[in-house]
Amino acid sequence: MAMVGLFWITEDCVYVGAEPTGTASGVRLTKDGVETLGLGQGRFWAWDEVRGIDVRDVAVRSAARRLASMAFDSLVVLVTGDGEHPPAFTVRVETEHDGPVETDVLAAVPGGIHTPDEYDLSRALLTRLAAGATPVEDLLTWRRDEPEDVAPTRDERLALLRQWTTTSA
């Protein structure tokens, strides 16, 4: 598994945000379509039923402010011993028959904070995925070709997002 922008990518699927565990809610993207997960959330739409995917409430800060926020959060955990779940954000799936469906997901990135360029490129990629301009299989193929124990650097993640938002299907 690897995190790129707002996405948690496995060999079989792509999650918007963190992969949910237990009854936690989440959104999974596969080559067949979009699925909401979690207690009371289990719905599926084939890609031809999806009109759009977008996100709200994502924590976005400059790289310097992100680092300062993460350092502060680490200090609070060190002093109090009280760790928190990563922050949640909302994924909105616009569907042909069901209209808009919203699901909260947990951020996969440490600290839950994304840089503006990661956020903008991730939103552009969600638009392209919903439109069929970038197939989910492109993300899955990249994950399968990468060593399991190697995480891409920040620059590599941004390059991947740029590639996925500019290539044609």
The secondary structure of 88-113 as a DSSP string is EEEEEEEETTTEEEEEEEE--SGGGE
Reported residue count of the chain is: 169
pLDDT at 48: 96
Q: Sorting pLDDT into bands at 50, 70 and 90, what band is 73?
A: very low
Q: How confident is the model over 14-42, as a mean pLDDT?
A: 92
Q: Which spans in the chain are helix H?
A: 63-80, 116-131, 136-145, 154-166
pLDDT tens figures, 81-139: 555 567 899 999 999 999 999 999 999 887 788 999 999 999 999 999 999 999 999 99
Residue 68 is predicted with a pLDDT of: 41
Rounded to a whole number of angstroms, the distance between the first and last alpha carbons of the chain is: 24
Q: What pTM was computed for the model?
A: 0.84
Assigned token pair, 127: 């638009």
